[in-house]
Structure 1
Amino acid sequence: MNTSTLATPAVPVCHVVKGKVVTGAAHEFGSPQARFATPALDLNDLVWTRREPGPAFGTPLAEIIDVLVATGERLKRDPDGLLAEALDFSVRTSPLPRDVLERSYAGLGRAFDKRGLLFQVEQELGGADVLDGWRLIDNTPSGRTHRMRAFPPRLIHVIAGNAPGVAAMSVVRGALTKGVHLIKLPSNDLFTATAILRTMAAVAPGHPLVRSFSAAYWRGGDAQVESLLFRPQFFDKVVAWGGESTIRSVKQYIGPGFELVAFDPKTSISLIGREAFASDAALAEVAERAATDATIMNQQACASSRVQFVEGSVEEVDRYCALLQARLGVQRETCSALGSPLPAELRDEIDGLRGMEPHYRVWGGYEGRGLVIRSEEQVDFHPDGRVVNVVPVASLASAVGCANVATQTVGVYPPKRKAELRDALAAAGVQRIVELGKAVAFEAGISHDGFLPLSRFVRWVNDEG
């Protein structure tokens, strides 16, 4: 028998339904080399009736934060081995290598820091009073007095699987808004969300917050599931992360009473001023910073820089490109030293550019250690797999025109030049402007993709007069 043709055993995926673990292998998904099995779906168990409030609707925010903080501490210790198990299973199904997953899992507890939780509530909602009760609104132009509440929502979360932190962020935001939440597990991160919810259940068995969450897998776009769940009688909104196909699939269900909160697909760029060429040491530092931004989650994160615009001559920019390529194959907290080999279609695109000097020049190979393409204008394909497109420009202001509404993060060097560019970048559609090398340093509590998530998640209700 030719054992090389045998499929690998299916990885077992559990569901969490209102705080309780559900196991089984009723369905199998994935490729022969990365198969996984999931329990049967009981759609009735995945919804909460509107005839009564959700379990945590009346729970004080201070108590919820205590549970979250304790969950974060337990995640750091992992006494039950839930994260360790999730890591072992994820290695078999995730496109990310084990060392990146290990470091990501080790940092999950940071999302549950008390100061950060309080900061989110204060910055995005103005304080806990509007979650715990009805905020008094007086001194109105009409002289009337009103009360307003950020009422707990009923949400479906279609989360992305390109970074384990997305699951932690979704649980935290859902908990802070006190609502009921169904998390659709992504096929490239089937285990992080359930490990977090199981840890929360171990911290506070049967707590209203624990009973407010479910997490399950179904194939994205499955109309037999989504046409029944994505309804206003069950949920207020769907919070959707992911690519264009995911967002378009979800949009077909949007209508009166059922809204979309979209973390749209995004790409990111870098703007590097001529100050980078002030000295060899400065150029080496800039190359390191830019490589750090380009390799976040092995370039799978929205904040990963894919196109970099550099002020300078072609000769200067070529010096930079060589240094940048050498730093792309370095292990960092959010990336491995070696990524996956480039797919054939991307290699074909790049092969077509080799030998077309001086219009194009390529540094690096296809083995996954990083590749840089210098071109007079942006290439017409999507740089991926540690591929960075570097474009020389006469001024950073001229590069602003290449940003658009799909541009999430722009890293700028030197940092002092952000001030001269930020208004034009914002007008072009950019949501986030950072110091070069700091694209991964996302701060929960300030705007994300152009809006304040907690404010969008809740339902704002008025008691007027």
Structure 2
Amino acid sequence: MSTTTSLAAPFFIRGELVEGTGSQFRSRDLGVDFTTPAIELDALITPRSQLPPLLDVPLAEIIEFLAETGDRLALDHNPHLQRCLDLVAETNPLPRRVVENLYRTAPELLRPDSLWSQVESNFADPAVLDGWVSRTDAAGNTGAIRAFPPRMVHMLAGNAPAGCIASIAQSALVKGISVFKMPSSDPFTTVAVLRTMAEIDPKHPVVQSMSAVYWSGGDESLERTIYRPQYFDKIVAWGGGPAIGNVIKYLGPGIQLVSFDPKSSISMIGREVFESEQTLADVAERVAADTCVFNQEACLASRFVFLETTDRAQAERFCAHLQPRLGVDRLFGSAVAPLPPADIRDEVEVMAAMGDELQVFGRFDGQGVVLLSDAPVDFHPSHKTSNVVMVRSLDDAVRHVNVATQTIGIYPFERKTALRDALAGAGGQRLCRVGTANAHVAGGPHDAMYPLARLVHWMGDDDIFTADANAALPIAAG
């Protein structure tokens, strides 16, 4: 596809496709121009005087609708996604083959069993999503609670085309009214998914609850209008540090941030890896698989490997096994990736030239580089760059874990149990067997929280008959 002219990126607003060329933008990663319609705020914002369209729709019906959408998102039969595949290949740094694999597997996110798992793990009683649930406290006071549908702006992530499907599902499960702000690296897929929903039923309350638009992040003239509590309850943000920082300035009473902010993931490899050549080769392959998810663009992709050894020769053997496995074609990663930024390459070359401070395995040719060091490098490894750090004990590696550490892959697998409390105390958020970072137990927490329970607007209706109840039960100030 030629990029001599701008790509057209239409909007989708509550069941209607909106086309036009009122604004022009440039994609962040590849510098490709695309045009969008002008944003009509009156059409985009649902007044609070209108109850959410999904309020009285049973959750079971919503899940049935999402499952049918998943069936219709099969790439071989969906012209909207087929067109998107060509468009995203122009704007996104992931190879076209990887984007295609994402499109082919993403409908799995809409399987009924997966959706129910999310609901049941987030809510002790899912009935709170469908109506008011009565309760009685120890003093005999009665009341009711409801997980009321929220009004949300979702800042979608740009590193995972088709990731929007998960956000669409979450919004539908909590019966929310949502505006999806698409990323410049993929201002297409969300609209394709919503168009597919509209072909099932353009008037369905799920469709009527959702809109997808694009604006340039940081556009104060637009954001200071949209990010107001009279319009929205939550800003659900996926993105890098600058994007999250930009949103924070709009927070205040009545509008909350649910942040899936930038994370870094690691591997922790015990001395048992050196028990045999077969074990060494297997674990190196597993670490490489975790490293190369989305060519290391995913938050769950391993960037640092803490290797339990004091023997430099052993560490070199591990690195020698790991480096060639980074240059392998994978389902969600390519054999050759874009190169790391020039300043990082220059820094590595300087450090390597200084002698023992850093040992480099491989070349900056897109097929992966392994950096062996005694302490973690002070930059963020990316583009299939793995920093192997020698530690005396995996216990010593815990001090390198913090609240920005998302996924921790461990070998041997049985050592997870002994490490998990210390890792959680340090701020780590998820443990797994090394090699399985991109797999998940359905319904588990994400970024140290259960998102659906954070998204809803919790409403209580206390029904207390005793006139002096306030004197009997103290309440928190405020």
Which TM-score applies when normalising by structure 2? 0.94
Equivalent residues of 1:67, 1:204 under 8 A apart: no
Take 2:162 and 2:421, find their aligned partners in 1: how far apart are those partners? 30
Q: Does 1:299 align with 2:296?
A: yes
* Secondary structure of residue in 2 paired with 1:209: helix
The aligned runs of 1:55-454 (5 Å cut-off) are 55-76=53-74, 79-138=77-136, 140-312=137-309, 313-454=311-452
Higher mean alpha-carbon deviation, 340-349 vs 107-116, is at: 340-349
TM-superposed CA distance for 1:444, in Å, is: 4.6
Equivalent residues of 2:92, 2:185 under 8 A apart: yes
Equivalent residues of 1:91, 1:98 under 8 A apart: yes
Take 1:464 and 1:322, find their aligned partners in 2: how far apart are those partners? 65
TM-superposed CA distance for 1:33, in Å, is: 5.0
- Equivalent residue, structure 1, for 2:473: none
- Equivalent residue, structure 2, for 1:3: none
Take 2:92 and 2:154, find their aligned partners in 1: how far apart are those partners? 20
Take 1:33 and 1:389, find their aligned partners in 2: how far apart are those partners? 29
Structure 1 gap segments, 5+ residues each: 1-5
Equivalent residues of 1:231, 1:258 under 8 A apart: yes
TM-superposed CA distance for 1:77, in Å, is: 5.2
TM-superposed CA distance for 1:126, in Å, is: 2.5
Take 2:76 and 2:37, find their aligned partners in 1: how far apart are those partners? 25
Higher mean alpha-carbon deviation, 266-275 vs 30-39, is at: 30-39
Equivalent residues of 2:373, 2:387 under 8 A apart: yes
* Aligned-CA RMSD value: 1.4
Take 1:387 and 1:11, find their aligned partners in 2: how far apart are those partners? 32
* Secondary structure of residue in 1 paired with 2:109: helix
- Equivalent residue, structure 2, for 1:12: 8
TM-superposed CA distance for 1:443, in Å, is: 3.8
Higher mean alpha-carbon deviation, 121-130 vs 214-223, is at: 121-130
Identical residues among aligned pairs (%): 46
Take 2:443 and 2:148, find their aligned partners in 1: how far apart are those partners? 19
Higher mean alpha-carbon deviation, 434-443 vs 414-423, is at: 434-443
User: 1:248-273: CA deviations, max 9, x gaps?
Assistant: 10011111111111111111111000
Equivalent residues of 1:7, 1:33 under 8 A apart: no
TM-superposed CA distance for 1:345, in Å, is: 1.1
Letter in 2 for 1:320: F
Take 2:50 and 2:21, find their aligned partners in 1: how far apart are those partners? 33
Take 1:318 and 1:39, find their aligned partners in 2: how far apart are those partners? 55
Equivalent residues of 1:8, 1:34 under 8 A apart: no
Task: Assess, with a 3 A threshold, how the Cα gap between structure 1 residues 337 and 7 changes in structure 2: closer, same or farther.
Answer: closer
Task: Assess, with a 3 A threshold, how the Cα gap between structure 1 residues 383 and 244 changes in structure 2: closer, same or farther.
Answer: same
Higher mean alpha-carbon deviation, 199-208 vs 361-370, is at: 199-208
Take 2:190 and 2:59, find their aligned partners in 1: how far apart are those partners? 22
Take 1:394 and 1:324, find their aligned partners in 2: how far apart are those partners? 20
Letter in 1 for 2:13: V
Take 2:355 and 2:154, find their aligned partners in 1: how far apart are those partners? 47
Letter in 1 for 2:297: Q
Take 2:149 and 2:82, find their aligned partners in 1: how far apart are those partners? 33
Moved over 4 A (4+): none
User: 1:121-166: CA deviations, max 9, x gaps?
Assistant: 111012431111111223x222112211110000000111111242
Letter in 2 for 1:15: F
Higher mean alpha-carbon deviation, 50-59 vs 66-75, is at: 50-59
* Secondary structure of residue in 1 paired with 2:89: helix
Equivalent residues of 2:58, 2:130 under 8 A apart: yes
Take 1:421 and 1:209, find their aligned partners in 2: how far apart are those partners? 43
* Secondary structure of residue in 2 paired with 1:455: helix
Take 1:20 and 1:406, find their aligned partners in 2: how far apart are those partners? 39
Which TM-score applies when normalising by structure 1? 0.96
Equivalent residues of 1:174, 1:181 under 8 A apart: yes
Higher mean alpha-carbon deviation, 72-81 vs 14-23, is at: 72-81
* Secondary structure of residue in 2 paired with 1:107: helix
Equivalent residues of 1:74, 1:199 under 8 A apart: yes
Structure 2 gap segments, 5+ residues each: 464-478
Take 1:91 and 1:355, find their aligned partners in 2: how far apart are those partners? 38
